[in-house]
Amino acid sequence: MVYQTEREKKNRKIRWIVFLSILLFAVLTGFFCVTVCTVGEVEIEGNELYDDESIREWVQNDRYSWNTLYVYFKYRFKKTEAMPFIDTMTVDMKSPRKLSVLVYEKGPIGYLTDENTGQFIYFDKDGFVIEISTKQIEGVPQISGLPCENAVVYEKLDLSEKTLRTLLTLTQNLGKYNLHADGIVYDGSGNMSVVFGPITVKLGSEDNLTEKLVRLEKILPQIDGMAGTLHLETWTEDTTDVTFERMQ
């Protein structure tokens, strides 16, 4: 016959109390999650291309998305499929019944002009059409000399990956060096020119493009107020001569 000492009885009692406490906590937590943490409001900011309802449907896209805790942890710890034209999207839990979604949309890197309709075709760095309208967005350069036939919103333009990479490099560096271009022009051979009011800067091919723009940043202030053509087509680190054809 086995007898339990008072100490053993006490330890066993403590273990039961701990177990029951954990069980009760788990039950209460589960009850709280199921009955209290239900999505009642979704606050959405930063979206222009998509309306609130489209963002809400994208965030709450499976059978468990009625639960705020589930949605919060899903987007915090799991990599989810990106929404077209969305760069990043953060989801926070403001209260047991309220979610906050902050949207960072992909901005246009330029726009083409449809000569038939006069509408502007805005596209992102991947070549997808973001918007077609008569609205002109300040700070977005016009791109001339590239095809835009049959452009459709949310579909990709007929542009090569090489052209898109070069355009992205060009527009990013223009922004980096605070160079506000009025337009970017492609000729039939794929050479580029950048227009700054009465000044046209011929950049030529994509070779040494970043270095050319570094040089351009230093030159433009010296010819401010003039009109003409600045030639950087043949500029290299070894051939540094730059000519400016001033318009009389």
Q: Do 167 and 193 fall within a single domain?
A: yes
Whether 118 is in a domain gets the answer yes
**Residues whose CB is less than 8 angstroms from the CB of residue 36 and which lie 6 or more positions away in sequence, other chains included:** 96, 97
- Helix intervals (H) in the chain: 6-35, 52-59, 68-77, 161-176, 209-219
Q: Do 93 and 185 fall within a single domain?
A: no
Q: Do 189 and 100 fall within a single domain?
A: no
Q: How far is CA 137 from the centre of its chain?
A: 17
**Phi/psi at 27 (5° precision):** -65, -45
The pLDDT assigned to 8 comes to: 63
55: containing domain: 41-105
Residue 54's SS3 state is helix
Cα angle value 23/28/31 (rounded, 5°): 125
End-of-domain residue from the set 62, 79, 105: 105
Whether 132 is in a domain gets the answer yes
The pLDDT assigned to 1 comes to: 46
Q: Which amino acid is at 197?
A: G
Q: Do 82 and 116 fall within a single domain?
A: no
Distances (CA, A) of 111 to 39, 81, 85: 39, 27, 15
Whether 33 is in a domain gets the answer no
Q: Please state, in angstroms and rounded to a whole number, the distance separating the CA atoms of residues 106 and 130.
A: 9
Q: Do 177 and 238 fall within a single domain?
A: yes
Give the chain's residues under pLDDT 50: 1-2
Q: Which DSSP symbol is given to 242?
A: -
Whether 157 is in a domain gets the answer yes
End-of-domain residue from the set 49, 75, 105: 105
Whether 86 is in a domain gets the answer yes
Q: Please state, in angstroms and rounded to a whole number, the distance separating the CA atoms of residues 193 and 203.
A: 5
**Phi/psi at 176 (5° precision):** -60, -40
Q: Do 117 and 236 fall within a single domain?
A: yes
Whether 29 is in a domain gets the answer no
Distances (CA, A) of 210 to 164, 219, 224, 231: 15, 15, 21, 15
Q: Do 53 and 87 fall within a single domain?
A: yes
Whether 192 is in a domain gets the answer yes
Distances (CA, A) of 8 to 4, 13, 16, 60: 6, 8, 12, 52
Whether 6 is in a domain gets the answer no
The strands making up 183-186's β-sheet, listed across from edge to edge, are: 129-133, 120-123, 110-113, 142-144, 183-186, 192-196, 199-204, 228-231, 243-246
Q: Do 135 and 164 fall within a single domain?
A: yes
